[in-house]
Structure 1
Amino acid sequence: MSNLIQDIIQIVREKHMTDCSAHDFDHVMRVFNLAKTIAKTESGVDPEVLQLSALLHDIGGAKESNDPTGRTDHAVVGSEMAEEILGGLGYDPARIRHVKDCILTHRYRTDKKPESIEAKILFDADKLETVGAIGVARAFAWVGRHGAKIYKKPESLEDYIRENLGGKINGRIREKSKHSVHINYETKDKYLLEKLYTESARKIGRERLEYYKNFLDRLEREVNGKQ
């Protein structure tokens, strides 16, 4: 591991000290390690750009979480913070731009799409964190933080999308307390496999998604007193 990567890890650790456990330093390191695993099956990857992008991808998360208006986009803010951090360390400007692009396109709830292989791998690694056993754990950490219900299914998903997601299935969540794990599955997680870019991520995703769906089905039965 290079000195630069070690320095960035320390910076990121400090930046994420007060974050929700769904988006804390541990999440960053899981994405970092999963991105490296996916990269082993891809060609033409710049490992340093990928690793820096993975480490810095949620650096703007606290600013988004602390904005009561819901207008702050942590991908946009994070890309600017990454530029400032890497620029301050004298990193190559062209590669800084590449890192910024990866961070800008890593989130699901946006119309910006990843183009480079590094950006696609980062997107995939981050999205795989939403399913599987870790996805279950992170989902309930998130609803707890935002005062949302453990179990909630709207009478009309179309109405919910219009009222709380701005009319788009991948729209930004307006009132997070009205969201739920089941709603997130119906509007995002169930479409995971068709959104991923790399075959190795899809392979991991198939197994994780099956586990996640089985858990939600079991939860629904228990909530309704059927099991």
Structure 2
Amino acid sequence: MEEKLQKIKEIAQREMKEAESAHDFLHVMRVYNLCLHLAKTDPDVDLEILKAAIFLHDIARVKEDSDASGKIDHAIFSAKMAQKILRNLDYPEEKIKQIEHCIVAHRFRSGNEPQTKEAKILFDADKLDVLGTIGIARSYTMAGRYGEKMYLDVSIAQYVKENLVGGKEGGRIKVISKHAPNLEYELKFKRIPDRLYTKEAKRIARDRLKFMDQFYKRFKKEMAGEK
């Protein structure tokens, strides 16, 4: 098992060598560590399925990021790539299906809810990586890349009405330069604990959100010259 997993890891590293820092292989390894932590409480988790899915879950991220058409969903495409890789390594078809499910279901927007223990753990760990100090670092990495503002002191209702498609929360951002990490935090990240499946992931998420809340409150005061 370990030999095959090492080969999978090496393949994923090669495929992701050009990935931007928020979704590079260091992200994969952070998710790996979180997954192993979350899996400790359940002896029935299949670690071979889980580990393979972790290494492969973002393998098509570079392809999505370089796709100007916006048609590539990295979760779906990663699952297709994983299928070929796993078959070449002589994985049983049943395990391939389970690994594919974990990969497809790890993304909010895929519309595929995690059904297995392994898929739920991967989903939770992947979401935890956008929270806390790492989440803040990732947010500002993305903000710099796409031209977002550092901070915008606007009402959430006003922002949703003016800059989200349909004037509804969850709508696509119209103008990225009118977006900012603190708005992403308010509209998306604060709600992550309610979307998680495992008790431990919910605990970690709440703890990380406390730090983010303190950070953005401090940021607002510094912007106003109060600190």
Same fold flag (TM > 0.5): yes
Q: 1:208, 1:42 → 2: CA distance?
A: 23
- Cα distance in 2 for partners of 1:170, 1:162 equals 8
Instruction: Give the residue type in structure 1 aligned to 2:46.
Output: D
Contact 1:150 1:181 in 2 (8 A): yes
Secondary structure of 2:86's aligned partner: helix
Query: 1:88 aligns to what?
Result: 88
How far the C-alpha of 1:160 sits from its partner, in A, is 4.8
- Extract unaligned runs of 5+ from structure 2: none
Could you tell me which amino acid in structure 1 is paired with residue 191 of structure 2?
A: Y
8 Å contact from structure 2 (residues 46, 118) kept in 1: yes
Give the aligned partner of residue 14 of structure 2. 14
Q: 2:186 matched to which residue of 1?
A: 186
Residue aligning to 1:159: 161
C-alpha distance in 2 between matches for 1:212 and 1:105? 26
Match of 1:225 in 2: 225
Counterpart in the other structure of 2:100: 100
Query: Which amino acid counterpart does residue 126 of structure 2 have in structure 1?
Result: D
Q: CA separation of 1:14/1:217 partners in 2, compared to 1, >3 Å: closer, same or farther?
A: same
Paired residue type of 2:5? I
| Alpha-carbon separation, structure 2, partners of 1:73 and 1:201 | 25
Residue 130 of structure 1 and its aligned partner are, at CA, apart by 0.7
Moved more, 167-176 or 71-80: 167-176
In the alignment, the residues of structure 2 paired with residue 89 and residue 60 of structure 1 have an alpha-carbon distance, to the nearest angstrom, of 19
- Report the more deviating stretch, 217-226 or 51-60: 217-226
- 1:175-201 CA deviation, whole Å, 9 max, x = no partner? 655432112112210001111100111
Using the size of structure 2 for normalisation, the TM-score is 0.91
Q: Distance in 1 between matches of 2:43 and 2:15?
A: 32
In 1, the alpha carbon distance for the partners of 2:134 and 2:204 equals: 13
Residue 198 of structure 1 corresponds to: 198
Q: Return the alpha-carbon distance in structure 1 between the equivalents of residues 177 and 217 of structure 2.
A: 22
Q: 1:139-162 CA distances to partner (integer Å, 9 max, x unpaired)?
A: 111111222222135551322564
The percentage of aligned residue pairs carrying the same residue is 41
Q: Whole-Å Cα distance in 1 between the matches of residues 173 and 121 of structure 2?
A: 25
1:147 maps to: 147
Q: CA deviation at 1:81?
A: 1.1
My pick for the range that moved more, 38-47 or 120-129, is: 38-47
Quote the residue 2:33 is aligned against.
33
CA distance in 1, matches of 2:79, 2:174: 22
CA gap of 1:57–1:154, structure 2 versus 1, over 3 A, is farther
Deviation at 1:224, TM superposition (A): 2.4
Count of matched residue pairs: 225
Structure 1 residues 148-157 or 121-130, which shifts more? 148-157
| 1:121 and 2:121 matched | yes
Deviation readout 1:52-109 (Å, 9 max, x if unpaired): 1111111111111112232321111111111111122221111111111111111123
Q: Matched residues in 2 for 1:70 and 1:205: separation?
A: 30
AA aligned opposite 1:157: Y
Task: Please report how far the alpha carbon of residue 173 of structure 1 lies from its aligned counterpart in structure 2 after TM superposition.
Answer: 5.1
Check the 8 A contact 2:164/2:171 in 1, yes or no.
no
Paired residue type of 2:151 = Y
Once the two structures are superposed, the pairs formed by residues 59-70 of structure 1 within 5 Å of their partners are 59-70=59-70
- Is the 1:161–1:169 Cα contact (8 Å) retained in structure 2? no
Query: Does the CA contact (< 8 Å) of 2:132 and 2:212 recur in 1?
Result: yes
151-160 or 86-95, larger mean C-alpha shift: 151-160
**DSSP-derived class of the 1:81 partner:** helix
Q: Which is worse superposed, 66-75 or 148-157?
A: 148-157
Contiguous gaps of at least 5 residues in structure 1: none
